[in-house]
Amino acid sequence: MNSILIVEDDESINRGITFVLEKDGCQVYSCKSVAQARTMFHQQEIQLIICDITLPDGSGLEFVREVRRESGVHIIVLTALDQEVDQVMGYEAGADDYITKPFSLSVLRLKVQAFFKKRQGTAQERIESGTICFFVKEMRVVAAGREISLTRNEWKMLQVFMEHPKQILSKNQLLEQLFDAEGDFVDENTIAVNIRRLREKIEPDCSRPEYIKNVRGIGYLWDKECRR
């Protein structure tokens, strides 16, 4: 079931959005403050957030920033402000889309349907782990909401790890994956260099890696669950 978090303090708007989306078969979690939204986001598996900017206990944009630091979840911002600078601030905070109040529930419904339809169509082409989204066919990687640039070997190595989570991979197994198609072999030193560079790009703290961990004397391990 598609799961949606609504963060909107206006009772009538909140109730209207909830009614329309539940009618479409979505699981809707309704909140009216940043504090409630923060708690609900960490308790539930949320796939889409619809968030107002002006909330009674703080800024919706700050909540968006918090979420984006932790997750690549899709975010639609609701705002009564229609100035270009407000739209830019929403995108800079990490929003994927926005709707200006007053708005049509039908338009919002169509945006939500379009997102889930696209998500379903690309489900087998995307691997998610923690805050990392790996778009296989597009050869594109997003970490904590930011697209990162990888070399060919880094990209191939990341794919191997994310397709084999919680599985120890030896240096020989990684060498086989990084074998150059033109006939040049990659040596063990290249493995270590690529691991280091990949960690620098995806790990929040390279000195204490969360994703790629060393298994002494054996190889490396992707230490987070992955989902398609």
Please give the full DSSP string across 65-107, using - where no structure is assigned: HHHHHH---EEEEEES---HHHHHHHHHHT-SEEEESS--HHH
Question: Are 29 and 103 contained in the same domain?
Answer: yes
Question: Are 109 and 61 contained in the same domain?
Answer: yes
φ, ψ dihedrals at 170, nearest 5°: -75, 165
What is the pTM for the complete model shown? 0.58
Q: Residue 156 belongs to what domain range?
A: 126-222
pLDDT value, residue 24: 93
Question: Are 160 and 91 contained in the same domain?
Answer: no
User: Would you call 46 helix, strand, or coil by DSSP?
Assistant: coil
**Separation of alpha carbons 192 and 194, rounded Å:** 6
Identify the CATH number of the domain in which residue 144 sits: 1.10.10.10
pLDDT value, residue 12: 95
**Separation of alpha carbons 56 and 19, rounded Å:** 23
pLDDT value, residue 197: 92
Written as tens digits, the pLDDT of the chain (228 aa) is: 889 999 999 999 999 999 999 999 999 999 999 999 999 999 998 999 999 999 999 999 999 999 988 887 899 999 877 667 777 888 889 899 989 888 899 999 999 999 888 777 655 578 999 999 998 877 789 888 888 888 878 888 999 999 999 999 998 888 877 764 444 455 667 888 889 999 999 999 989 999 999 999 899 999 999 987
